Amino acid sequence: MPDAASAFAVLFVVLLLADTGLRLWLAARQIRHVAAHRGAVPDEFAQRISLTSHQRAADYTVARIRLGMLERVFDAVVLIALTLMGGLQALDLLVSSLTDHDMLRQLGLLVALLLVLGLLSLPFTLYRQFRLEARFGFNRMTPGLFAADMVKGIVLSMALGLPLAAAILWLMASAGSLWWLWAWVVWSAFQLLINYIAPVVIAPMFNKFTPLTDAQLAGRIRALGERCGFTVNGMFVMDGSRRSGHGNAYFTGFGRTRRIVFFDTLLNKLNADEIEAVLAHELGHFARRHIVRRHAISIVMALAFFAVLGWLANQPWFYVGLGVLPQLGARNDAMALILFFLVIPVFTFMFTPLASWFSRRDEFEADRYAAGQSSPAYLISALVKLYDDNAATLTPDPVHSAFYDSHPPAAIRIRHLLAAA
């Protein structure tokens, strides 16, 4: 076991260093590339976006990337401190000293870790919201609203997360060697429940949703939905401007809770033709079954992860290799969950470009669908406005974009739409 634990520890450190190094290298490429193209608007956008807006987008991108680099290094240090430097071990012993009840001890460990991670990430969140976003004119959130959102988030996480965690811990202790299969069933059912209730229960806790009052726009959207075979159960406007200047629109829920939501900021920026084109793109994801496929892939991946966790939870080297000595005479199920979900991103980061490629493929397909349901010119016009208003860079580094971006770069996307036109 010592050899296996040592080998696993070395593998973990090597992959963490590779992960962090690659992220920093990609970030540096993005900064250099965006800065090098800051001085001129790309030809595709020269008639629509001013040089001032282009430079603002470049500066915003560089500022976010630099903050992300600092945050990534900090996260790597925290991960090492929690694992190999004994942070989780100390936290487990502290919680164990407070209660002898096994389930309470394990739930307490989960809660304590989440509080620690939340407190550690809070300075970055505050800086991003009240300094970086404010610097570029996007922040609309007050400290009071931020605090209220944080309290609501904590209460909601406890109300929903603790019963789920308790159910999985109970299955780990009571359901035998196939506990992971039953845990996956519970997890999948929980995800479906959240998707169903989120639009009508959770989202209204944070934002105000009012029915769309523009009868002409609502009629066009219903007609579009009928052409696409999509039943619209509700169209709502969300007060996104209370928190941010960014604009967006999205579909949410399923069945009777399925609805279309517009940020109020979006309605102020796009005309009716452009809004219809944007929604035609989103309906393209529905018509081409991208959403169903993504949910199916997510469920299958969750099954694979639970199966791996079911095996790792019984391997002493998994705990020891990550700096934890399992407690003798007590359950270590919560610790297994924590270690697995802390380190799995390090072992799966290499698959990020593949996921990004599939996502970009779906975006191109949805664009082609939208071009058949609406005018490509309207979608291009809407995209240009959104790029401009959201300060999205028009000149991303190709390697960085291929690795991370779920949407195609602006210039390439518009070329495809022009070809469709």
Dmax over CA atoms of the chain, in Å, equals 71
Contact residues for 265 (Cβ-Cβ < 8 A; gap 6+): 240, 241, 244, 245, 246, 247, 248, 389
The whole-number pLDDT of residue 267 equals: 85
Q: What is the DSSP letter of 131?
A: I
- Give CA separation, 358 vs 47, 115, 364, 406, in Å: 32, 35, 10, 8
Active site residues: 282, 367
The whole-number pLDDT of residue 59 equals: 97
User: Taking the CA of residue 21 as centre, how many other CA atoms within 13 Å lie in the half-sphere pointing to its CB?
Assistant: 6
Sheet holding 209-211, edge to edge: 209-211, 235-238, 259-263, 249-252
State the pTM of this model: 0.91
The whole-number pLDDT of residue 421 equals: 67
The whole-number pLDDT of residue 263 equals: 87
Cβ atoms of 62 and 291 closer than 8 Å:
no
The whole-number pLDDT of residue 281 equals: 92
The whole-number pLDDT of residue 359 equals: 96
Instruction: Could you list the residues known to form a binding site, using ranges.
Output: 281, 285, 363
The whole-number pLDDT of residue 187 equals: 97
- Which tokens hold the place of 212? 């769309």
The whole-number pLDDT of residue 243 equals: 85
Instruction: Could you list the residues known to form a binding site for Zn(2+), using ranges.
Output: 281, 285, 363
Q: CA nearest 361: which of 398, 298, 314, 413?
A: 413
Q: Which residues pair with 290 in a beta bridge?
A: none
| Residuewise pLDDT in 10s, the chain (421 residues) | 568 999 999 999 999 999 999 999 999 999 999 999 999 999 889 889 999 999 999 999 999 999 999 999 999 999 999 999 999 999 999 999 999 899 999 999 999 999 999 999 999 999 999 999 999 999 999 999 999 999 999 999 999 999 999 999 999 999 999 999 999 999 999 999 998 888 889 999 999 999 988 889 889 988 888 888 877 778 889 988 888 877 777 777 666 657 888 888 888 888 999 999 998 998 899 889 998 899 999 999 999 999 999 999 999 999 999 999 988 778 899 999 999 999 999 999 999 999 999 999 999 999 999 998 888 999 999 999 989 988 999 999 999 999 999 999 999 999 988 887 6
d(Cα 365, Cα 290) in Å, to the nearest integer?
10
Cβ atoms of 175 and 279 closer than 8 Å:
no
The whole-number pLDDT of residue 24 equals: 98
The whole-number pLDDT of residue 266 equals: 83
The whole-number pLDDT of residue 150 equals: 95
Q: CA nearest 137: which of 244, 11, 292, 283?
A: 244
The whole-number pLDDT of residue 258 equals: 73
Give per-residue burial for 17-52: e unless 16+ CB within 10 Å, then b: eebbeebeebbebbbebbeebbeebeebbeeebeee
Query: Which SS3 state, helix, strand or coil, does residue 101 take?
Result: coil
